[in-house]
Structure 1
Amino acid sequence: MSFNGGWAPPPWHHQPAPMPSPNGQSWRPYANQQGGGPMRQPPHNHHPHMNPQYQNPHNGWLEILDNPYFSRGVHPPQNHFERNQMQNFNQPPLPPPPVQQRPVLKSPPKIQMNEYVKQTLMNNAHVPGLRSGLQMRNAMQQRAKNRMKGQEQRPKTSMQLMVNFKVFSERIELRWQIPAKRKDLKFIITMLNTKMNSVESIERPCSSAHCEFQVQAGENYKVEIHCKTERDGFLLAYWTRELRAEFSYSELKHLLEKCYQFVTRGIKADPQMHEFRVVYRCKPKVYWDEIHHYCNDVMQKYIKDDNGQPGNLINGKINGLFFSARLLPDLTLPQFSPFGNVRMIVNAFLILNPERHNFYFSDFYCNKNIHYVTIVICVVDSETDRYCREKLVKLNPLSNPFVKLIPPPDRFGQWRFYINYTLWVELYYTEDLQLDMGQFSAIMATGAGTSKIGGLPNNKNCNLCNLYPRKKKVVEAVEEVAAVADLDSTMATILREDARVDSDVADTLVYLIDRVEERSLTAEELAEKLDPELVKAVEEMNKAVNKEESLFGSIAKNLSDFVSGFNKRKDALIQEIRKLRNS
């Protein structure tokens, strides 16, 4: 490099090239195979004053190159691939391929509800499970949404307080870590009952790091803890949480033990159980009509109401459908129900198959004189099953005193189902069901003819089914009359005759009168009491729901007969082979 005239020329620029070898080859061994670049090519018009060595055509510089872009004045063959490709550049671009239009899927026409059906639903708004009933049930969940909207956020200037809490049905325990080693701190604990809108506040010094509140089972509480300085009230740490007073796992186990004691009654013997093959669900006719006409024959599950113990772990948490399997002493289905005048009967194996379902204990309670136990049935590994596995007590379907299953003796046999009749076993199935999975029949509705929206509260004075029974309070009979005045039932009739009758005595009389009436009616007398239009409507419902079942049922029956016959012939052939071997 020269600093006087800029960049110096390369050393080979004007130096004479060596003479070619005698055999005519270039002195560069690679020049015969690979030509030089465009910078090495000499000009086409050779001047006489130029060095004659540049005019030597055999020095390897003017060899025909394979690549036409690095040659000057040398034309490649006309059939060269790249030249042909270059000719395509001058052609007009091809039009884009047509875009295939996706077919527009038209949504099915929305079924319009006529005025008659709408008015019928409004008149039966008290029926749980209907659209209007579901809207009323969702009102109790709207409170939780409103609380989330008004929930205050933690101030940005404060740190998060570390708090451990334990929730029980009657109390809530709080324990926290002190954020700083200071003696001028205080803790203010505030608990708000979101339903009653009542506030309870407690102040603790810095030496105390725990607190306990007495709560009411089933209520929701908003708990806040503020850590402040005593001098100027500066907020150092903050914590808040929405909690529901409900059973802990230890309390639920204790409730299960009380249920065991009630079933056995202190007698070390097998529980009193009877066999059943079907389960049933009773609802008003309008409930089934809406499912058939507007729900595509799918009985959809809905949220569990507040029936039973207020601290129940499934109230307002999971969705399901109630079924029963209780039979009369003569092992026949009851012809009366307080829940509706149409009964759906389903094969017990469909919802109690132990290979597909898990069983959980969730509740034990009573209203007045009848005790109930609630068994939750979930499909294995479903979302509801994962929740129940964490919160509830799992039961062994082959050995429990409530719903007991006996496996078949061989692979061709059937499962046998037994249910306890010393108390009322409620089967809470947590999946949807098709109407074509059952049969319908008309029955007599007693009382209000439907279940109550929100559920009935449990008897909190019973010592048999309450963990913390309360002392019985004297309630004016006038309030009890007002509570049942709108019901055309035996209870209302008794209380209207004599308002001074004790409620427990009246409830016992109601139970006995209803049971005697059920057992005294024959099938003919029941058929006379039933509404002929209701019976005709139920028959039409069975035909409409099961019109496709006959075809699939015949195919399934033929397939089952073929499989059973094939297995019998196979077993017989195996026995013959064994006999030949032994002989």
Structure 2
Amino acid sequence: EWRNACACPLLNINGGIRGMLQSVSLFDMDTPLSTPCNIQICEVTCDSFRIMWDMTPEDTEKATHFFIDLSRKESRDHNRFKHRDVPTKLVAKAVPLPMAVRGHWFLSPRTEYCVAVQTAVRQPDGDYQVSEWSQVVEFCTGDYAMEHLQQLLDKANGSAGRLLKFSVFYRNQHPEYFDYVRSEECGGLMRPALKDSSGSHGSPINGKLQGVFFSCNTEFDTGLPPNDSPYGPLRFQIPAGQLLNPNICLYFADFYCMYTAYHYVVLVLAPVGSEGDTFCRTRLPMLDLASNPFLTYIAPERPEEEPLYCHASDVILEILFTEPVHLDRGTVEQISGHHQLMSLTTANAKKDPSCKVCNISVGR
């Protein structure tokens, strides 16, 4: 009886404690979560980023999930590379911050995004208690890293084809361009211009590296440059050795197509130690002048021999030379073609994001 008499109050006390814990738990569940603040984005790449924000210790302890709302920043320049069928909201289990976000969206390189977050507690019935949305933070994804360009280079290697001999680089333009180059303002110099946005969206040279574009592809039957051009009826030709020699560094910059069967490879020629060389050295894969599938210089073995210059046969090469070139180093002549093939111009052309040949497994 003593034991029973003592047991009853003890049971009542324990029951009271359990009741108090349940009420506290319900009280915590009903307590609003604070709004995440001080959103910070870091370690941004072309297809990932890390995000963190400030939470109260109480919220940090009880939050079970994070909601992240990501959307492309609206602009007049519509981003054709954003996939339409990708959800814009991510529900992730709560982890220590900063949290890495990648693989959940097909993020595009060099694209501005808006992001906001909520913290949440999952309840026993499956519903969520959520905080208010944080303020919206904007950030921009980055360029392709060296590892991504190496993936592009590996793909381009398989499309290059056999090497063909050539002897000149050439640049096609309209008469107005050469009139301007000959003007007092330019003094005969073709000055470097900023690379446009054509090709892969994440190429590090787009809008950042200056240069003068040249071609070197030849016709199979003649071994000479083609008679037609999408860029104009006048052609500046310069001996190959003026731009491609042992004092030049060769870099791979891009591989792309424009919804066509043929592909383009963008290469950069930069004099050793120049600003262009410094820019490319940490951003682009360097190619061996004597041994690569796109553009080669083979030094002569004997004094009386000439160097051998070769270009890839199955891709269209776009050569960006990073220094000014004077017209006196070559000749300007009219080409004999009767049409200009304007559909082949690559000015600000967009890469086909669905092509399996020239796309890699990161943002387009």
Q: TM over 0.5, yes or no?
A: yes
Does the Cα contact within 8 Å between 1:358 and 1:377 map onto a contact in 2?
A: yes
C-alpha change, 1:418 and 1:346, in structure 2 (3 Å) is same
Counterpart of 1:326, as a letter, is: N
RMSD: 3.7
In structure 2, relative to structure 1, the CA distance for the partners of 1:428 and 1:410 (3 Å cut) is: same
Superposition pairs of residues 338-377 of structure 1, within 5 angstroms: 338-355=230-247, 357-367=248-258, 368-377=260-269
Contact 2:251/2:285 (8 A) holds in 1: yes
The TM-score with structure 2 as length reference comes to: 0.69
Residues in 2 aligned to 1:334 and 1:385: alpha-carbon distance in whole angstroms = 30
Moved more, 296-305 or 194-203: 194-203
Deviation at 1:380, TM superposition (A): 2.1
* 2:158 paired with 1:283: no
1:465 aligns with 2:358: yes
Q: Which amino acid aligns with 1:278?
A: V
Structure 1: which 5+ runs fail to align? 1-157, 264-270, 471-583
Query: In structure 2, what is the equivalent of residue 322 of structure 1?
Result: 213
Correspondent of 1:174 among 42, 45, 50: 50
Q: Deviations over 1:432-483 (max 9, x none)?
A: 111111101101363465975852222333322222599xxxxxxxxxxxxx
The offset of 1:347, in angstroms, is 1.5
CA distance in structure 1 between the aligned counterparts of 2:140 and 2:210, rounded to whole angstroms: 21
State the distance in 2 between where 1:219 and 1:179 align. 27
Going by fraction, where is helix more abundant, 1 or 2?
1
CA distance 1:242–1:377, change in 2 (3 Å): farther
Number of residue pairs matched by the alignment: 299
* 2: CA distance, partners of 1:231 / 1:327: 64
Q: Secondary structure at the match of 2:155?
A: helix
Q: Does 1:409 align with 2:297?
A: no
Q: Deviations over 1:400-438 (max 9, x none)?
A: 011111112245654221111122222111121111111
- C-alpha separation between the residues in 1 aligned to 2:130 and 2:224? 76
2:330 corresponding residue in structure 1: 438
d(CA) in 1 for partners of 2:197 and 2:344? 12
Give 1:257 shift.
Answer: 1.3
Taking the aligned partners of 1:283 and 1:449, their CA distance within structure 2 comes to 12
Distance 2:244 2:150 in 1: 23
TM-score by length of 1: 0.45
Give the greater-gyration-radius structure (CA).
Answer: 1
Residues 339-386 of structure 1, C-alpha deviations (whole Å, 9 max, x = no match): 11000001111211222x211111112221221111111122333322
Task: Give the aligned partner of residue 165 of structure 1.
Answer: 43
Work out the CA distance in 1 between the residues paired with 2:344 and 2:177. 12
Percent pairwise identity: 23
Contact 1:362-1:375 at 8 Å conserved across structures: yes
Structure 2 CA distance for aligned equivalents of residues 242 and 309 of structure 1? 20
Q: Distance in 1 between matches of 2:301 and 2:233?
A: 38
Partner residue in 2 for 1:184: 59
Name the CA distance, whole Å, in 2 between partners of 1:232 and 1:338. Answer: 57
Q: Please tell me the residue identity of whatever aligns with 1:284.
A: H
Where do 5+ consecutive residues of structure 2 fail to align?
1-36, 79-86, 121-128
CA distance in 1, matches of 2:209, 2:45: 19
Determine whether 1:193 maps to 2:83.
no
Counterpart CA distance in 1 for 2:362 and 2:251 is 24
Contact (CA 8 Å) 2:117, 2:133: kept in 1 or not? no
Maintained 8 Å contact 1:359/1:396: yes
Give the structure 2 partner of residue 420 of structure 1.
312
Matched residue, 1:303: 194
Give the AA of the match of 2:298.
Answer: I
CA deviation vs aligned residue, 1:47-98 (integer Å, no higher than 9, x gap): xxxxxxxxxxxxxxxxxxxxxxxxxxxxxxxxxxxxxxxxxxxxxxxxxxxx
Corresponding residue SS for 1:343: strand
5 Å-filtered alignment, 1:92-131, equals none
AA aligned to 1:292 is R
Report the residue type matching 2:328 in the other structure: D
Aligned to 1:255: 152
What letter matches 1:281 in structure 2? R
